[in-house]
Amino acid sequence: MKVEFYKHNIGQQDIDNVVEVLNSLFLTTGEVVSEFEYKFSQYLGSRYTVGVTSCTAALHLSLLACGIGPGDEVITTPMTFIATANAVLFTGAKPVFVDVEPETGNINTDLIEDAVTPRTKAILPVHLYGQMCDVRKIKEIADKHNLSVIEDAAHAIEANRDGIRPGQLSDAACFSFYATKNITSGEGGAISTNSKEIAERLKKLRLHGMSKGAAERYSKKYEHWDMEMLGWKYNMSNIQAALLLNQLENIEKRWQRREQICQMYEEAFEEDLGVTCLKVLPNSKSGRHLFTIQVAPDKRDEVVRQLEERGIGVAVNFRAIHLLTFYRQAFGYKRGSFSIAEKIGDSTITLPLYPKLSNEEVQYVIKVVKEVTTS
Ligand X SMILES: Cc1ncc(COP(=O)(O)O)c(C=O)c1O
Please give the positions annotated as active site.
181
Residue of 36, 178, 234, 291 interacting with ligand X (CB under 6 A): 178
Q: 76-108 burial string, b = 16+ CB within 10 Å, else e? A: bbbbbbebbbbbbbbbebbbbbbbbbbebbbbb
Quickly count: other Cβ atoms within 10 Å of residue 192's Cβ.
30
Residue of 49, 54, 168, 306 interacting with ligand X (CB under 6 A): 54
154 binds ligand X (CB under 6 A): yes
CB nearer to ligand X: give 187 or 259.
187
150 binds ligand X (CB under 6 A): no
Minimum distance, C-beta of residue 198 to ligand X, in the bound complex (Å): 19
Which residue stretch of 77-85, 88-96, 240-248, 326-334 sits at the interface with ligand X (rule: CB under 6 A)?
77-85
Minimum distance, C-beta of residue 105 to ligand X, in the bound complex (Å): 11
242 binds ligand X (CB under 6 A): no
176 binds ligand X (CB under 6 A): yes
80 binds ligand X (CB under 6 A): yes
Which residue stretch of 52-60, 113-121, 260-268, 306-314 sits at the interface with ligand X (rule: CB under 6 A)?
52-60
193 binds ligand X (CB under 6 A): no
**β pairing state of 120-124 and 73-76:** parallel
Q: How far apart are CA 195 and CA 23, in angstroms?
A: 35
Residue 275: name the closest of 259, 299, 244 by CA: 299
152 binds ligand X (CB under 6 A): yes
**Alpha helical stretches, state H, the chain:** 12-22, 31-44, 55-65, 82-90, 112-115, 135-145, 196-205, 214-219, 238-249, 251-269, 300-309, 325-331, 339-347, 359-374
Q: Are 208 and 232 in contact (CB under 8 A)?
A: yes
CB nearer to ligand X: give 77 or 306.
77
40 binds ligand X (CB under 6 A): no
Binding region for ligand X (CB under 6 A): 54-56, 80-81, 83-84, 126, 152, 154-155, 176, 178, 189
